[in-house]
Structure 1
Amino acid sequence: MPSQSNSGSSNNSGSGFSYKSSGTNSRGNHYCARDYGSGVANPNSYHYSNSNGSYYYSNSNGSTYHNNGKGTATYTPAQGK
């Protein structure tokens, strides 16, 4: 994995999640991981955005969203919900 800065964990009181980690690597790609606890389909959701304009979300409800930065996006709904 490329080197990255890491802000560590922090509590985001009142929003239903806490930040697990986030940072930006030497190529300018950003990520953020959140912990929503056990009451959601995907408690360890995250997103990343890349310097080429693409980004990806893995959401707490189990859905995903990907944009390739070139005009194409794909949404995948949560399974079984």
Structure 2
Amino acid sequence: MSGKGSSDYSYKGSGTNSQGNHYCARDYGSSASNQNSYHYSNSNGSYYYNNPNGSTYYNNGKGSSTYTPASGKK
């Protein structure tokens, strides 16, 4: 890989769990803070991102969202 851009990942897989929530997993390699990032798109309209830099983002699908930076402080 030649660079640290967000496109530098290998696709790990996707599917739907028993709750009807869709997920997609990606492997960003050893140089990423969070090597195995993923996101969920939930059947109730909410979604959750676990980002390669270690931050997370959650939206409840009703207009409220929470972002937590990689430092762990909101």
The verdict on a shared fold, with TM-score over 0.5 as the criterion, is yes
Distance 1:78 1:27 in 2: 28
Deviation string, structure 1 residues 27-75 (Cα, Å, up to 9, x no partner): 5421001000000100000000011100000000000000011111000
Q: Aligned-pair RMSD on alpha carbons?
A: 1.6
User: Could you tell me the TM-score, scaled by structure 1's length?
Assistant: 0.74
Unaligned runs of 5+ in 2: 1-6
Number of the residue aligned with 1:42: 34
- The 4+ residue runs of structure 1 with deviation greater than 3 A are 25-28
Select the residue among 29, 32, 35 that pairs with 2:24.
Answer: 32
2:48 is aligned to 56
Q: Gapped runs of 5+ residues in structure 1?
A: 1-14
TM-score by length of 2: 0.80
2:24 counterpart letter in structure 1:
C
Aligned residues: 66
**Code of the aligned partner of 2:13:** S
Q: Identity of counterpart residues, as a percentage?
A: 79
